Structure 1
């Protein structure tokens, strides 16, 4: 039998109202895709297509229609999958303008190719020989709620804390940073902040100068993307090192990636494979950044454990000592139980913890044959 693909929407429900400068998140829908051959029913490759509302370029009303169309085309092609032809299939079937679809299909094909065991990259991470350092993420909220999150992350053993800023009063956000610095030096606790483009051209320098008082590791995306001249100036002059995030979204051409990084010269870039079009396209960013002496780390885009597992294994392919942004598996009360575990500020893979797909049984599977 030829390979077939079906998809299944799954709504993830947050344990709490997660605040960002773009609004409050309480739920997120992902589409899980399953690649299989009826003649080998025990082997199923699973991937996750999870566009992030308000941020992904494929966060569109016709997203599911496009997914269904791609599945129908896939099912007609009588495909065989090899490591060398996955990029070819992705380019011809999906292209680059639907990055979360490309990420999901790439993940599912890699999983299928490796026996359908949720092992996409057979490396030291999945063999319990490597742990990945991660930052503890503090979501926007009231001063008290954010301070409580900070204290919980420190108690849980995180030595790098990332705070979402830009939604509540700036002075209150600075007060939280001041509280941390009164109790912990930069050698004890590394602080990152993420503005998600919340600052304006008129205020950005004043705010960066104020933030510099707290000895920060970096600030992600202080201004909205597509302001190249101002961003280049900030990357050169900011007293807080700049990390580009949203600035990268929507750039898929290799030459354009290099032009962007050479023009802006950031200290760091932040990579979300779901938003960048999958692993091979993310690898281009990494290789380009390394040639230009730009640091990088990888973060999730609020995927379920299916997508987070794939991204974590990909991250472990590289020798990068910086803490990564892979601590989102605990966000949802109905996430898919998996071997991914967090302990003392590190993500690790526990082979004694099985995958449990029972939570998906109540969701429909869309037939696209």
Structure 2
């Protein structure tokens, strides 16, 4: 029998209102794709297609229609999967304009190729022999709510904390940073902030100067993307290292990626495989950044544990000691149970735990549709 692929939507429910400068999230839909062969029904590769509302370039009304079309085209082909032909299949079947679908299909094919055990990249992380340092994420909210989150992260053992800023009064956000620095030096707690493009040309320089007082590790995307001249100027003169995030989205051509980084010359880039088009696309960014001596780290994009697991295993393929942004697995009431755990600011894969897709339906991992 030829390989078949089917998908199923799953609406993830946040445990709290997740505030960003683009608004508040209470739920998010992902589509799980599964690849299998009826001749070997115990082997099912699973991937997650989860466009991020308001940010993914494929966050479009016709997303599910396109996913259905791609699945139908896949099912018409007599495909066999090998490590060497996955990029070819992705390019011909999905293309580059649907990055979260490409990420989901790439994940499912790698999972299938490795026996359908949710192991995409066999390495010490998935063997339980290595953990990944991660930052603790503080979501936007009232000053009181954000301070409470900070205290909870520190109590949980995080030594790198990332705060979403740009939604409440800037002075209140600075008061939160002042509170942290009053109690913890930069040697004790590393601070990152993420503005999600909330500043503009009229205030960004003054705000960077003010933020420099708190000895920050970096600020992500201080201004909206597609302002390359201004962003390049900021990166050249900034008192706080700048990390590009949204700026990378929608750049799928290798030459365009290199031109962007050479033009802006950021201190760091933030890599979200779901938004960038999967692992090989992310690897292009990493290799380009390293040649240009630009730092980088990898971040999840509100995936369930299915997507987070794939991204974490990919991250563990690299020798990068910076804390990664992979702490989003505890956001949802109805996540997929997995071996992923967080302990003292480290993401680890507990091989004694098992995957449970019961939140979808009991037959999801069978070969039946």
**TM-score, normalised by the number of residues in structure 1:** 0.98
Q: Work out whether 1:75 is the aligned partner of 2:75.
A: yes
Structure 1 Cα separation of the partners of residues 357 and 325 of structure 2: 25
Q: Work out whether 1:239 is the aligned partner of 2:233.
A: no
Contact 2:111/2:117, CA 8 A, preserved across alignment: yes
Task: Indicate the residue corresponding to 2:325 in structure 1.
Answer: 325
Task: Indicate the residue corresponding to 1:152 in structure 2.
Answer: 152
Structure 2 Cα separation of the partners of residues 355 and 362 of structure 1: 12
Alignment of 1:267-282 (within 5 A): 267-282=267-282
Structure 2 Cα separation of the partners of residues 364 and 61 of structure 1: 26
Contact 1:226/1:247, CA 8 A, preserved across alignment: yes
Contact 2:4/2:74, CA 8 A, preserved across alignment: yes
Contact 2:58/2:99, CA 8 A, preserved across alignment: yes
**Displacement of 1:129 after TM fit?**
1.2
Quick one: structure 1 residues 283 and 183, their matched pair in 2 at CA, closer, same or farther if it must change by over 3 Å? same
Task: Indicate the residue corresponding to 1:257 in structure 2.
Answer: 257
Structure 1 Cα separation of the partners of residues 147 and 6 of structure 2: 44
Task: Indicate the residue corresponding to 1:21 in structure 2.
Answer: 21
Task: Indicate the residue corresponding to 2:284 in structure 1.
Answer: 284
Structure 1 Cα separation of the partners of residues 6 and 275 of structure 2: 22
**Displacement of 1:274 after TM fit?**
0.1
Task: Indicate the residue corresponding to 2:131 in structure 1.
Answer: 131
What's the Cα RMSD here?
1.4
Structure 1 Cα separation of the partners of residues 363 and 136 of structure 2: 31
Task: Indicate the residue corresponding to 2:88 in structure 1.
Answer: 88
Gaps of 5+ in 1: none
Structure 2 Cα separation of the partners of residues 363 and 189 of structure 1: 45
Structure 1 Cα separation of the partners of residues 19 and 203 of structure 2: 22
How many aligned residue pairs are there?
A: 368
**Displacement of 1:225 after TM fit?**
0.1
Task: Indicate the residue corresponding to 2:11 in structure 1.
Answer: 11
**Displacement of 1:232 after TM fit?**
0.1
Q: After superposition, give the CA deviation of every residue in 1:68-100 in whole Å (9 maximum; x if it has no partner).
A: 000000000110000000000000001100000
Task: Indicate the residue corresponding to 1:222 in structure 2.
Answer: 222
Contact 2:36/2:45, CA 8 A, preserved across alignment: yes
Task: Indicate the residue corresponding to 2:66 in structure 1.
Answer: 66
Task: Indicate the residue corresponding to 1:179 in structure 2.
Answer: 179
Task: Indicate the residue corresponding to 2:100 in structure 1.
Answer: 100
Alignment of 1:33-52 (within 5 A): 33-52=33-52
Task: Indicate the residue corresponding to 1:169 in structure 2.
Answer: 169
Structure 1 Cα separation of the partners of residues 93 and 128 of structure 2: 35
Contact 1:10/1:363, CA 8 A, preserved across alignment: no
SS in 2 for 1:328: coil
Structure 2 Cα separation of the partners of residues 114 and 348 of structure 1: 20
Contact 1:103/1:277, CA 8 A, preserved across alignment: yes
Contact 1:71/1:368, CA 8 A, preserved across alignment: no
Q: After superposition, give the CA deviation of every residue in 1:208-230 in whole Å (9 maximum; x if it has no partner).
A: 11100000000000000000000
Quick one: structure 1 residues 59 and 81, their matched pair in 2 at CA, closer, same or farther if it must change by over 3 Å? same
Task: Indicate the residue corresponding to 1:212 in structure 2.
Answer: 212
Structure 2 Cα separation of the partners of residues 333 and 172 of structure 1: 30
**Displacement of 1:361 after TM fit?**
1.1
**Displacement of 1:368 after TM fit?**
12
Structure 1 Cα separation of the partners of residues 65 and 316 of structure 2: 34
**Displacement of 1:305 after TM fit?**
0.3
Contact 2:357/2:364, CA 8 A, preserved across alignment: no
Q: After superposition, give the CA deviation of every residue in 1:229-271 in whole Å (9 maximum; x if it has no partner).
A: 0000000011110000000000011111111000100000000
Gaps of 5+ in 2: none
Report the more deviating stretch, 355-364 or 163-172.
355-364
**TM-score, normalised by the number of residues in structure 2:** 0.98
Structure 1 Cα separation of the partners of residues 353 and 127 of structure 2: 13
Contact 1:5/1:368, CA 8 A, preserved across alignment: no
Contact 2:135/2:160, CA 8 A, preserved across alignment: yes
**Displacement of 1:128 after TM fit?**
1.1
| Runs ≥4 residues deviating over 3 A | 362-365
Contact 1:68/1:368, CA 8 A, preserved across alignment: no
